[in-house]
Amino acid sequence: MPIEIQLPALSSDMESASLTVWHKQVGDQVTQGDVIAEIETDKATLEIEAADSGTLGSILVAAGTDEVSVGTVLALLLKAGEGVESLADHETKAKQLSAGPVTDGTSEYQVSEQDKDFDVVLVGGGPGGYVAAIRAAQLGMSTALVEREHLGGICLNWGCIPTKALLRSAEVYEQFKHAESYGLSATNIAFDLDKIVARSRGIAKQLNGGVGHLLKKNKVKVYDGRAELLGGHRLRIEQQDDDSVELSADHIILATGARPRNLPGLEADGELIWTSREAMTPSCLPKSLLVMGAGAIGIEFASFYNSMGVDVTVVEVLPQILPVEDAEIAEFASKSFTKQGIKLMTQTRVKELRKGSDQVTAVLEHQGELQELKVDRVISAVGVVGNHENLGLENTQVVVERNHVVVDEWSQTAEPGVYAIGDLSGAPCLAHKASHEGIICIEKIVGQADIEPLDKGAIPGCTYSRPQIASVGLTETAAKDHGFAVRVGRFPFQGNGKAIALGETEGLVKTVFDANTGELLGAHMVGAEVTEMIQGFGIAQTLETTEKELMHTVFPHPTLSEMMHEAVLDAYDKVVHF
Kindly list the strands in the beta sheet with 369-375, ordered across the sheet, starting from the edge strand earlier in the chain.
348-355, 360-366, 369-375
- At residue 67, the pLDDT reads 80
What distance in Å separates the CA atoms of residue 573 and residue 578, rounded to the nearest whole number?
A: 11
- At residue 264, the pLDDT reads 92
Domains of the chain as residue ranges with CATH? 3-98 (2.40.50.100), 117-260+385-456 (3.50.50.60), 273-382 (3.50.50.60), 467-571 (3.30.390.30)
What distance in Å separates the CA atoms of residue 282 and residue 274, rounded to the nearest whole number?
A: 10
- At residue 10, the pLDDT reads 66
What distance in Å separates the CA atoms of residue 530 and residue 195, rounded to the nearest whole number?
A: 28
- At residue 58, the pLDDT reads 86
Residue 98 CB partners (closer than 8 Å, separation 6+): none
- At residue 114, the pLDDT reads 40
The answer to whether the beta carbons of residues 136 and 160 sit under 8 Å apart is no
Question: DSSP label at 2?
Answer: P
Kindly write down the DSSP assignment for every residue of 514-565, as one continuous string.
Answer: ETTT-BEEEEEEEETTHHHHHHHHHHHHHTT-BHHHHHTSPPPSS-TTHHHH
The answer to whether the beta carbons of residues 128 and 439 sit under 8 Å apart is no
The answer to whether the beta carbons of residues 280 and 273 sit under 8 Å apart is no
The answer to whether the beta carbons of residues 143 and 120 sit under 8 Å apart is yes
Kindly list the strands in the beta sheet with 343-345, ordered across the sheet, starting from the edge strand earlier in the chain.
273-274, 377-380, 288-292, 311-315, 343-345
- At residue 111, the pLDDT reads 26
In the chain, % helix, strand, coil (3-state, to 5) comes to 30, 30, 40
What distance in Å separates the CA atoms of residue 421 and residue 123, rounded to the nearest whole number?
A: 10
- At residue 155, the pLDDT reads 84
Predicted TM-score (pTM) above 0.85: no
What distance in Å separates the CA atoms of residue 359 and residue 356, rounded to the nearest whole number?
A: 5
Amino acid symbol at 132:
A
What distance in Å separates the CA atoms of residue 319 and residue 506, rounded to the nearest whole number?
A: 23
Q: What angle do CA 119, 421, 533 make, to 5 degrees?
A: 120
- At residue 211, the pLDDT reads 92
- At residue 496, the pLDDT reads 96
Which phi-psi region, left, alpha or beta, contains residue 504 (left: φ > 0; alpha: ψ -120 to 50)?
beta
The catalytic site residues sit at: 557
The answer to whether the beta carbons of residues 432 and 459 sit under 8 Å apart is yes
Q: How many Cβ atoms from other residues are within 10 Å of residue 261's Cβ?
A: 15
Residues paired with residue 258 on neighbouring β-strands, in sequence order: 386
In 3D, which of 88, 72, 80 has the Cα closest to residue 39?
Answer: 72
In 3D, which of 464, 460, 418, 424 has the Cα closest to residue 441?
Answer: 418
What distance in Å separates the CA atoms of residue 293 and residue 307, rounded to the nearest whole number?
A: 19
- At residue 108, the pLDDT reads 31
Strand locations in 264-346 (E): 273-274, 288-292, 311-315, 343-345
pLDDT in tens, the chain (578 residues): 788 888 887 665 677 888 888 888 888 888 888 889 888 876 667 788 888 888 888 888 888 787 888 888 888 988 877 766 666 655 554 444 333 333 333 223 222 334 348 999 999 999 999 999 999 999 999 999 999 988 998 888 888 899 999 999 999 999 999 999 999 999 999 999 999 999 999 999 999 889 999 999 999 999 999 999 999 999 999 987 778 899 999 999 999 999 999 999 999 999 999 999 999 999 999 999 999 999 999 999 999 999 999 999 999 999 999 999 999 999 999 999 999 999 999 999 999 999 999 999 999 999 999 999 999 999 999 999 999 999 999 999 999 998 999 999 999 999 999 999 999 999 999 999 999 999 999 999 999 888 999 999 999 999 999 999 999 999 999 999 999 999 999 999 999 999 999 999 999 999 999 999 999 999 999 999 999 999 999 999 999 999 999 999 999 999 999 999 999 999 999 999 98
In 3D, which of 332, 302, 303 has the Cα closest to residue 320?
Answer: 332
Burial of 455 (0-12, 13-18, 19+ CB in 10 A): exposed
- At residue 109, the pLDDT reads 29
Distances (CA, A) of 5 to 14, 56, 77: 17, 10, 7
| Dihedral sign of CA atoms 513, 519, 520, 522 in order | negative
Peptide bond into 428 cis (omega under 30): yes
Residue 332 CB partners (closer than 8 Å, separation 6+): 507, 508, 526
- At residue 93, the pLDDT reads 47
What distance in Å separates the CA atoms of residue 301 and residue 276, rounded to the nearest whole number?
A: 8
- At residue 99, the pLDDT reads 37
